C-alpha cells in the first residue's frame, strides 16, 4: 500500500529537504506515515507526482519509471484535471 506515494514523498524530502517535505505534506494534505496506508491509485500517484515536480522544479516522474507508466496510462484514457490544492483523499 502506498509504495509509489511513499517513494514520491521521500524523493521530495531527499531532493528538497525538510522545507520541501513540509510544503509537500501541506499541498497533498497528508503525512509521511499516513501515505504508507493509502492505496497507490493512479490518480493519487499522478497528483503527488505533479505536486512534487512543482515543488522541486524538476520532473519527479523521471526519477521513478513506474510513475511514467501510470501517467501515460491515465492520460491515454482521460484528461485528468485538478488543482494542486484539491483534496486528494
Over residues 10-35, mean pLDDT: 94
For residue 60, give the 3-state DSSP assignment.
helix
pTM score, whole prediction: 0.71
Residue 85 pLDDT greater than 90, yes or no: no
8 Å CB contact between 55 and 11: no
Domain boundary assignment for the chain: 3-77
Rounded (10°) angle between helices 65-77 and 3-28 = 70
Asked whether the predicted pLDDT for residue 23 surpasses 70, the reply is yes
pLDDT in tens, 30-83: 998 899 899 989 899 899 999 999 999 999 888 876 555 554 554 454 444 444
Amino acid at each position: 500500500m502506498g509504495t509509489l506515494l511513499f517513494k514520491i514523498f521521500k524523493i521530495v524530502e531527499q531532493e528538497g529537504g525538510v522545507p520541501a517535505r513540509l510544503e509537500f505534506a501541506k499541498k497533498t494534505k497528508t503525512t509521511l506515515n499516513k501515505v504508507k496506508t493509502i492505496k497507490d491509485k493512479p490518480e493519487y500517484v499522478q497528483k503527488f507526482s505533479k505536486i512534487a515536480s512543482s515543488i522541486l522544479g524538476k520532473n519527479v516522474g523521471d526519477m521513478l519509471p513506474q510513475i511514467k507508466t501510470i501517467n501515460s496510462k491515465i492520460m491515454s484514457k482521460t484528461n485528468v484535471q485538478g488543482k494542486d490544492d484539491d483534496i486528494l483523499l
